[in-house]
């Protein structure tokens, strides 16, 4: 099975955000994010729904299994994950509509925290002296 590249990109962002996300939030993050190629159709994830990778309930997209989410997340190079989490968190904080503040604030903070943890972990790897045996 080969999903369209835009669908793969959207699934990676969804995996970063969590196991589920409102379609309007995901569409916004995809449209604002780096790596979006051209206009991203709001229905692009329907390919993944048709293939049984995602389910759509109301306006939410959700992974059908946590291992599918993990597989989508693993497609993001490890050195890019922290930056991507921070980018998502900042986009949500800067542009969250007033009527969604309660619902998205914790998502944004979680993204920023995950981004900081990834950066700290990476810095520790670089800073730690290598022992020779």
Structure confidence by residue, pLDDT tens digits, 40-79: 566 788 899 999 999 999 988 999 999 999 999 999 998 8
* Contact present, 19 and 35 (Cβ < 8 Å): no
pLDDT in the model for residue 113: 80
User: What CA–CA distances, in Å, run from 14 to 22, 56, 105, 123, 130?
Assistant: 10, 13, 17, 26, 36
Q: pLDDT for 3-42, tens place per residue? A: 888 899 999 999 998 899 888 888 878 877 655 554 556 6
- Three-state DSSP at 3 gives coil
Looking at 14-28, 39-53, 86-100, 117-131, which range is the least confident one? 117-131
Residues 6+ apart with CB under 8 A from 46: 56
Question: What is the pTM assigned to this prediction?
Answer: 0.75
* pLDDT score at 121: 67
Can you give the pLDDT at residue 40? 57
Q: What is the pLDDT of residue 129?
A: 59
Confidence band (pLDDT; 50, 70, 90) for 126? Answer: low
Whether 76 and 84 have beta carbons less than 8 Å apart is answered as yes
Q: Which of 30, 39, 42 is nearest to 91 (CA)?
A: 30
Quick check: helix, strand or coil at residue 54? strand
Query: Is residue 98 over pLDDT 60?
Result: yes
CA–CA separation, 50 and 13 (whole Å)? 19
Are the C-beta atoms of 108 and 96 separated by less than 8 Å?
Answer: yes
Res. 89: pLDDT tops 90:
no
Residue 95's φ and ψ, nearest 5 degrees, are -125, 10
């Amino acid at each position: 099975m080969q999903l369209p590249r835009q669908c793969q990109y959207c699934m990676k962002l969804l995996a970063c955000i969590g196991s589920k996300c409102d379609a309007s939030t995901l569409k916004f993050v995809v449209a604002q994010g780096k790596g979006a190629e051209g206009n991203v159709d709001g229905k692009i994830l329907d390919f993944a729904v048709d293939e049984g990778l995602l389910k759509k309930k109301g306006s939410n997209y959700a992974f059908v299994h946590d291992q599918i989410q993990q597989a989508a997340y693993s497609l993001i190079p490890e050195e890019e994950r922290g930056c991507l989490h921070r980018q998502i968190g900042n986009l949500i904080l800067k542009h969250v509509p007033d009527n969604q503040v309660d619902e998205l604030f914790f998502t944004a903070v979680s993204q920023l925290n995950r981004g900081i943890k990834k950066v700290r972990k990476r810095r520790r790897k670089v800073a730690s002296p290598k022992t020779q045996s």
